Copies of this chain bind each other. A is one copy, B any other.
Amino acid sequence: MRANFFATVAASVLLAGCAAPQLRGTGDLGIVIERATGSVQIVETSGQTALAKVDGLGDLSHASLVYSRDGRYAYVFGRDGGMTKVDLLKQAIDRRVIQAGNSIGGAISQDGTLVAAQNYEPGGVKVFRADTLELVADIPAAYGNEGKFAKVVGLADAPGNRFVWSLFDAGEIWVGDFSNPKQPRIEKYKNVGREPYDGLVTPNGRYYLAGLFGEDGLAMLDLWHPERGVRRILDGYGRGQEKMPVYKMPHLRGWAVAGRHAYLPAIGRHEVLVVDIDTWQEAARIPVAGQPVFVMARPDGRQVWVNFAFPDNSHVQVIDTESRQVVKRLEPGKTVLHMEFTPRGEAIWVSARDDNKVVVYDTTSFARRLEMPATAPSGIFFTARAARTGF
């Protein structure tokens, strides 16, 4: 009797102690943002299953995330300024801080020790220790002489433990070197163009590009040669002669680079632009079925997948990069918000928000592999991002 009691205790301790978090690799894990419910689903792409749901992440509209260096933790940036560190193995929130009033995303440093958040309110960048979420540096986006602070957009990581971001209201690009995190060195580039609204670092970590909402062009900084300053490229690339209504601003971070060409969404036009990244000249325009939002290259660069703004947001198109033709049109479901390729590109996961599902396609046959229920899914992010620059 007594022995039984203790055996039961032993078993309970055992179950409580280790049965719950399963020992597993993290290289095939991912997260699906459920924007309406402030929750995320943890998924895995080998067996293509949902593993768990984690609640309590606050306002996840327009949420994005980055992964820790080891692939175990996601840092989820909510619109409400909440930054939540989710443990994908324990399937639970590890830490959570409200770090601003209104936030729009973040980045993780090359060495994985620092996480940065870009904030609208108060306008600036805050940098935290990735392990504890302790605040390390606070860089208000002060500009002009009237004590104003700009909204920060387009924050991205770059080699050398640098972060790069843009000041929407000020028309500036700032480069912060956090090699010594408590004493960051900030370089400011002024008059880069009116209203930078988003930015990205190219996959090779060399170029920072900011889209300009107030002008028809992009601001480009060569991070190998910051002394050359910010250059204007692709003047007249998007908004063009007659301005069309823009239903949804395209996301620059979705930029596809395949070989020596980048594929980017024209603003307000039913076109994907092809740009030669050796010369930064426009090489072609590809007609598509709506205003492109995300333009994403399959990891091997052979295909580019495109989703669209309202009213064309119930389908996606696939461009063959060799022929520069649309070779496939798919209808995953209502309100396609995001797409994510598996690490080596054999499949793509697509979120259809208003059908409450994620659809997985084979990228060779275009066959629909499966559908997975999710509550108003938006962003999909796989852990392979941890090993890449500019994600």
Interface residues of A (CB under 8 A from B): 2-3, 6-7, 9-10, 13-14, 17-18, 21, 23-29, 44-46, 67-73, 88-90, 110-112, 159-161, 179, 204-206, 224, 258-260, 278, 299-302, 322, 343-346, 364, 383-384, 386-389
Contact = CB atoms under 8 A, between A and B. Distances in A.
Given A6-B9, A23-B89, A46-B69, 6 more contacts: A2-B2, A3-B6, A27-B387, A69-B343, A110-B346, A159-B364
Given A300-B389, A343-B386, A26 B23 contact: no
A72 B71 CA distance: 12
A218 B69 CA distance: 38
Nearest to A258: B204
Contact of A346 (B161, B386, B388): B161
A3 B2 CA distance: 9
Contacts of A71: 25-28, 71
26 contacts: A6-B9, A6-B10, A13-B14, A23-B89, A23-B90, A25-B26, A26-B27, A27-B69, A27-B383, A27-B386, A28-B71, A28-B112, A44-B70, A69-B343, A159-B302, A159-B346, A160-B364, A204-B259, A204-B300, A205-B300, A205-B302, A206-B302, A224-B322, A260-B260, A344-B387, A384-B387
A68 to B, nearest CB: 7
A158 to B, nearest CB: 9
Nearest to A201: B300
Contact of A204 (B7, B10, B28, B301): B301
A112 B258 CA distance: 23
A243 B28 CA distance: 48
B2 A389 contact: no
Q: Which of A17, A29, A389 has the most C-beta atoms of chain B within 10 angstroms of its own C-beta?
A: A17
Nearest to A113: B46
B70 A27 contact: yes
A54 to B, nearest CB: 16
Contacts of A343: 69, 386-388
Contacts of A24: 70, 72, 89
Nearest to A322: B224
A361 B303 CA distance: 37
Contacts of A27: 26-27, 67-72, 383, 386-387
A279 to B, nearest CB: 12
Contacts of A69: 27-28, 45-46, 343
B25 A23 contact: no
Given A70-B26, A278-B260, A387 B389 contact: no
Contact of A388 (B26, B159, B344, B389): B344
A90 to B, nearest CB: 7
Contacts of A386: 27, 343
Nearest to A387: B343
Contacts of A259: 204, 260
Contacts of A45: 69
A104 to B, nearest CB: 23
A161 B25 CA distance: 22
Given A70-B26, A110-B345, A224 B302 contact: yes
A383 B112 CA distance: 16
A307 B72 CA distance: 34
Contacts of A67: 27
